[in-house]
A and B are shown apart, each in its own frame.
Chain A
Amino acid sequence: GQQLNQSPQSMFIQEGEDVSMNCTSSSIFNTWLWYKQDPGEGPVLLIALYKAGELTSNGRLTAQFGITRKDSFLNISASIPSDVGIYFCAGITGNQFYFGTGTSLTVIP
Chain B
Amino acid sequence: DAGVIQSPRHEVTEMGQEVTLRCKPISGHNSLFWYRQTMMRGLELLIYFNNNVPIDDSGMPEDRFSAKMPNASFSTLKIQPSEPRDSAVYFCASIKQGAVYGYTFGSGTRLTVV
Q: Decide if B45 is an interface residue (CB 8 Å cutoff).
A: yes
Chain A nearest Cβ from B61, distance in angstroms: 15
> Are A90 and B102 CB-contacts (below 8 A) given A42-B93, A101-B42?
yes
Majority SS at the chain A contact face: strand
Q: How many A-B residue pairs have CB under 8 A?
A: 42
From residue A92, how far is it (CB to closest CB) to chain B in Å? Answer: 7
Q: What is the interface size of chain A, counting residues whose CB is below 8 A from a CB of the partner?
A: 20
| Sample (15) of A-B pairs whose CB atoms are under 8 Å apart | A31-B100, A35-B102, A40-B107, A40-B110, A42-B4, A42-B106, A43-B43, A45-B101, A45-B103, A45-B104, A48-B102, A50-B100, A88-B43, A97-B45, A102-B42
Residues of A bordering B, CB below 8 Å: 31, 33, 35, 40-45, 48, 50, 88, 90, 92, 95, 97, 99-102
* Chain B residues packing against A (C-beta within 8 Å): 4, 33, 42-43, 45, 91, 93, 97, 100-108, 110
